[in-house]
Amino acid sequence: MTPLIVGIICMGMFIALMFIGLPLPFAMLFPAAIGILYIRTPAIAGQMLANEIFNTFTSYAFTVGPIFAMMGFFASYSGVGTNLFVAINAFLGHRRGGLAMATQVASAGFGAICGSPPASITTFAAIAYPEMRKLGYHPSLAGASVPAGAALSVLIPPSGTLIIYGIITENSIGRLFMAGIVPGVMLCVLNIFAIAWMCWRHPEWGPATHKHSRAEKIASLRKGGLIEIVIVFLISMGGMFMGVFTPTEAGAVGALGMLICTLVTRKMSRRSFVSAMMASVRTNAMLFLLLAGGQMLGKLFTVATIPQVIGRTIQGLDIPGWGIVIVIFVVFFLLGLVVDLLSIVIVTMPIFYPIVVNYLGYDPMWFGVALVYLISIGGITPPVGNGIFIMKGVINDEEATIGALFRGVWPFVIAAVAGLLVMLAFPPIVTALPDFYFGR
């Protein structure tokens, strides 16, 4: 068999192993090792497998993701998300759908220190959802607004997914972070418009609450964790953007800063600290195994010449570049319905990145942000939106059926698709800020 046929068979083997429930890192490692063994030799396959695992677990560049993840866990387990929601709610809660709108803004703020959609969902499902239901919000609006807000975490820096994209494709993480700011803010605004539209169509879905006084608003800002988030974000991200810190150092400074803030304000107990550290260890162990498996699968794709064959085929087609990109994005959207975002990026970048960036000439910053934006939409879209099922698993509300949650999520999906189309039509929305700050 030719290397290409072996690569295709091993790709099918990977998909089969993934769907029968084998842990994803091993579903990637086994077919990759078998394919390289067949194409090359057992000695080369064993050496590549050992090297990829060792290099991944000892790579300084790969530590940037775990360190930013630790910062997010410190924030999550210390209750920063709770206080942040209370602060934002003091300004928006008196409007129709105001609590759901406050959830979007608070999710954006929480994303600035967390970068993980599942962590954001579990945090605000425990904070915002009970408050909305207590005040008479319909489960469709209350339940859908939380995972929709969590999607902001993949765009607002420090996005864990953009970090992995930058590592795999060897792009500047600082530029990627800055490229995600405007799309992240745009998606937050679009989500708020979607909530306003739902409350216009169904006024009973999001009843208004009492208006807070100016003194209450000021007090909520002092107690709400907003000051800590701004300080940590400015020191960590600002230092990285100004060239004072590398991305890894920025993550370490952010994690230490968040820990100090939570200790000074007495929001972090000993039990919370231990829980945050254990959650960070578990998540990072999984992440490194995923990266090792993805690197090995990428080696198989290269040895099997899959990206080169696809690239030459595309060059021979009489189709404009934007048409090919749309087809690729449709594939990513469909993958986002059934596979988690991080796994998609790790598995598919060795194939699609050379095609879009090297063969078609698209900006890697634009492609990375648009890709992450698109897959995050798939994460909340019926019938297999992972974010919706995570939300259902966290809350304890018989009225919040899967059908009710999916009914409420459609306006958010439509708003997000509109934002994606704007990004496709006007790429400078993504690239202008990093190009202006860092230069082309």
Token pair 């959802």 in the structure block, residue: 129
| Burial state string for 363-398 with b = 16 or more CB within 10 A and e = fewer than 16 | bbbbbbbbbbbbbbbbbbbeeebbbbebbbebbeee
Q: What angle do CA 289, 293, 295 make, to 5 degrees?
A: 115
Helix ranges (H only) for 152-213 are 160-169, 173-179, 181-201
Report the Cα 320 to chain-centroid distance in Å: 30
Class of residue 33 by CB neighbours under 10 A (exposed 0-12, middle 13-18, buried 19+): buried
The 10 Å Cβ neighbour count of residue 321 is 13
Q: What is the pLDDT of residue 175?
A: 87
Quick one: angle between helices 321-338 and 341-353, nearest 10? 150
Assess contact for 296 and 98: CB atoms under 8 A: no
Q: 301 lies in which domain range?
A: 3-438
DSSP 334-386: HHHHHS-HHHHHHHHHHHHHIIIIIIS---HHHHHHHHHHHHHHHTTSTTS-H
Assess contact for 187 and 152: CB atoms under 8 A: yes
Q: What is the pLDDT of residue 341?
A: 65
Those residues whose C-beta lies under 8 Å from the C-beta of residue 344, and which sit 6 or more positions away, are: 332, 335, 336, 375
The one-letter code for the residue type at 54 is: F
Those residues whose C-beta lies under 8 Å from the C-beta of residue 183, and which sit 6 or more positions away, are: 155, 369, 373, 419, 423, 429, 430
The one-letter code for the residue type at 267 is: K
Tokens of 406: 């999916």
Structurally, the chain folds into a number of domains equal to 1
Q: Shortest CA distance to 322 belongs to which of 377, 379, 370?
A: 370
Q: Would you say the pTM of this structure is higher than 0.85?
A: no
Token pair 């990428």 in the structure block, residue: 298
The 10 Å Cβ neighbour count of residue 133 is 18
Token pair 């259902």 in the structure block, residue: 392
Tokens of 190: 């679009």
Tens-binned pLDDT, residue by residue, of the chain (440 aa): 777 788 888 878 887 887 777 777 788 788 888 888 888 777 777 777 777 777 777 766 667 667 777 777 777 666 666 666 666 766 766 677 788 888 888 778 777 776 677 777 777 777 778 878 877 888 888 888 888 888 887 888 777 778 888 888 888 888 888 888 888 888 889 999 999 898 888 888 877 776 766 676 666 666 655 677 777 777 877 777 777 777 777 778 877 877 787 777 677 777 777 877 787 777 777 777 777 777 777 777 777 777 667 666 766 666 777 778 887 887 777 776 666 666 777 777 877 888 888 777 888 889 888 888 887 777 777 766 677 777 777 777 777 787 888 888 888 888 888 888 888 888 888 888 888 876 66
Tokens of 142: 């209350």
Those residues whose C-beta lies under 8 Å from the C-beta of residue 77, and which sit 6 or more positions away, are: 268, 272, 273, 275, 276, 279
Alpha-carbon span 45 to 52, nearest angstrom: 11
SS3 content of the chain, % helix, strand, coil (to 5): 80, 0, 20
